[in-house]
Structure 1
Amino acid sequence: MSSATVHLSVPGDWKLWYKHMLGYAKDKKVSDFINLDKPDIFSELEEPLEPECPEEATAEAKIAYDIKVTAWKIKYMKYEKMNEGMTKIRDVIWRTVDATELRHVRSEDDDVKEIIHSLRDCLSPTTADYQDDVRTRYHDLCAPKNRGIEKWLNDWSLIEDDIKEADIAGQFNLKKDFLNVNLAIDAGYTQAWTKNV
């Protein structure tokens, strides 16, 4: 993960924390085992079995066995790399989730996806809560308080994405509010922006 660690301690943290976990899992090449929308469970994945030695001691049997061993080694290395990635993700979960929220996890030995699923059930905001949170943050952005234009623009781009994700885009006039608030923050920037629109 990056130098900035995202912690999960309240429902408002869920979305960003889960997004970071998915990104970390993608880096470790185990995203299907973390993504709650995918059915894959790592603990159900069987470790590749080493091929048995041939009963015959012929040259053909030895060549066939060597090919099977090479294929097994490749599969086993891939499995071990995924296992290592899952171990690191488990460690990140235990480091980034507030101790009071870890009580929702039935067992430390649960599959990582089951742990994340338990956390989601307890900490992911409901649709109504999420929509209310987005509306509140939007209204706060429409009443700027001594904010620099760059900070405000960053917050605005995030809220636009959140409005679309919360499926409440029709409740706001984004362009009008964008211009009105920018006039209050930086009239010169707003005039330059409206000329480009």
Structure 2
Amino acid sequence: MSVQLCLVLLALSALTAESHHDCSDIIKPVEDRSKVYGKWIYHVGATDSEYKLKELTKVNSSCIEISPLPGGEEFSLHYGDKMDGKCVYGTVNSTTTGNSTKLTFSSNSSTHEVTGSALVTCPDCLLWSDDAVTEVNGESKRSKSLLLFTKTGKLDASHLDVFKKQAECLHLLSDFHFPETTNLCPEEKEAAGDAKTEEQ
């Protein structure tokens, strides 16, 4: 084996080791579950699937509220998604096994089973990584996603750069979904009150 080839292989090994090291530094599960509780605004999403990316782009904006359930590690997730200018609300409860959390979302024509975990991220941010199985009219589709939420709807450029590196570590597509972070759905109680007012 030539000296030049040995040097190339050593250089590639060093780069691979550095890449793995970098990923292990920025892909870590959240140990304190209380940090995920509260209200969050969806800021940016990435996925490994063109189908899932198309689904994400249907979401104009989204906000969630995560609340602990009594007597264990489970939580309730309430969401308000704006899609095609209309607000869709719902609530799902988690099922936790070890470090994995399962959530199931259902609509008229599809069911989404999501298994994932919260990862360490920037201050006042929530980073959710998951594997999802979507059943649409009897057809099953799998995808991986990485979703970043913030408390304020704002995100520093440096924190976005870290998100992009995390997406790369998880082998996701380089196309990202950036929803609106100001034109959010109102609280569901407020929306219901407004609807009653319009009826009167």
Q: Same fold (TM over 0.5)?
A: no
Higher strand proportion (structure 1 or 2):
2
TM class by shorter chain equals: under 0.3
TM value normalised by structure 1:
0.22
Structure of larger gyration radius: 1
Instruction: Point out which structure has higher relative CO (alpha carbons under 8 A, 6+ apart).
Output: 2
- Greater share of helix: 1
